Structure 1
Amino acid sequence: MRAHPSDVVDFFVYVVVLNLAVEYLPAVISEGFTLSLLTALLLKVALELVLVLKGRVIARFKAAETRPGKVAAGLLVWVVAAGSKLAVLGLVDVVFGARVSLGGFVSVTLLVVCLLLSRAGVRRLLD
C-alpha cells in the first residue's frame, strides 16, 4: 500500500502539533523527538481508523428512519467520539508506556481537535 501525498503532509502536521502540545501543555509528554515522530505516526493511523468508523456511524444515523433508530445511532456517534479518545490514550500507553503521555481525556480531546483542524486547514491551503 502506497502512502498518498496528503498522508505524508498529515503526518508532518501531526508532528508539529504534537510537539507544540508537548511544549505548551504540561500533561502532554514525550521523552524525545523520535518518540514524538512515532507517536504522530500512531495518531495518524488511529485517527484515520476513527474517521472511517465515525463516517460509517454518521451514515447509519442519516439512514435511520425511525426515532429509536436515530436515537440509537446518535448514541453510537457519541460512543465513538468519546471512546476513540480513550482508545487513543490506551493505545499510546500500551505502545510507549511512560515515555509518552497525552495527559487525560481533556488534553487528548484538545489535542485530537487541534490535529484534525490543523490537518483540514493545511489540506485546504494546499488545494
Structure 2
Amino acid sequence: MRTRLGSWLAAHPADVVDVFVYVVILNLAIEYLPTVISESFSLSLLTALLLKVTLEVVLLVKGAVMARLRTAATRRARTTAAVMLWAVAAGSKLIVLWLIEATFGGSVSLGGFIPVTLLVVTLLLSRTALRRLLYPEAS
C-alpha cells in the first residue's frame, strides 16, 4: 500500500530530481565558496528542499508577472509590469536569504545577495538543463 508521500513522489519525478540536483549544486557551492556554509549534509538537504519550494513559488509569481507584461496594452502597464518583474527577481533573493536565516539560523549561510544570486541562477540553469535532458519531448 502506497503512502501519500510515495504517491506524490511517483507522480512528480522531476521535482524529486530537482531536489537532488539542488543538493549537489548547493554542496559544490559550500565546498568552493567560503561564504556558503552548512554545518551538515542533512542541513544542506533541508536547505535544498526549502530552496526548491521557494523557487517554485518564485517561478509561479514570475510567470504571472510575465503574462501581465505580455498582455500590457499601455506604456504605463508595461512599465509597471517591468518594475514588478525586477522586484520579483531582486526580492526573491532577499526572501531566500531571510527564509534560510529564519529556518536554520547560523547553521546555514548562503553568503549574501551576490552569492545567493549566483546560486539561484546556477540552480535554475541546472534544473532546466537536466529537465531538457530527461524530458526532451517537453522542451
- TM-score by length of structure 1 reads 0.98
Contiguous gaps of at least 5 residues in structure 1: none
Question: 2:103 pairs with 95, 98, 101, which one?
Answer: 95
| One-letter identity of the residue aligned with 1:111 | L
The CA RMSD measured in Å over matched residues stands at: 0.8
- How many residues were matched structurally? 127
State whether structure 2 residue 43 is matched by structure 1 residue 32.
no
C-alpha distance in structure 2 between counterparts of 1:82 and 1:32, whole Å: 28
Describe how 1:46-57 pairs up with structure 2 within 5 A: 46-57=54-65
State whether structure 2 residue 61 is matched by structure 1 residue 45.
no
SS at match of 1:65: coil
C-alpha deviations, 1:55-105, integer Å up to 9, x for none?
000101111100000000000000000000000000000000000000000
Q: Could you tell me the percent identity over the aligned residues?
A: 65
| One-letter identity of the residue aligned with 2:23 | V
In structure 2, the partner of 1:83 is: 91
State whether structure 2 residue 70 is matched by structure 1 residue 62.
yes
SS at match of 2:34: coil
| One-letter identity of the residue aligned with 1:18 | L
- TM-score by length of structure 2 reads 0.90
State whether structure 2 residue 115 is matched by structure 1 residue 107.
yes
C-alpha distance in structure 2 between counterparts of 1:73 and 1:94, whole Å: 30
SS at match of 1:101: strand
| One-letter identity of the residue aligned with 1:33 | F
Contiguous gaps of at least 5 residues in structure 2: none
Deviation at 1:10, TM superposition (A): 0.3
C-alpha deviations, 1:21-70, integer Å up to 9, x for none?
00001110000000000000000000000000000001011111000000
Q: Which runs of 4+ in 1 moved over 3 A?
A: none
C-alpha distance in structure 2 between counterparts of 1:124 and 1:63, whole Å: 28
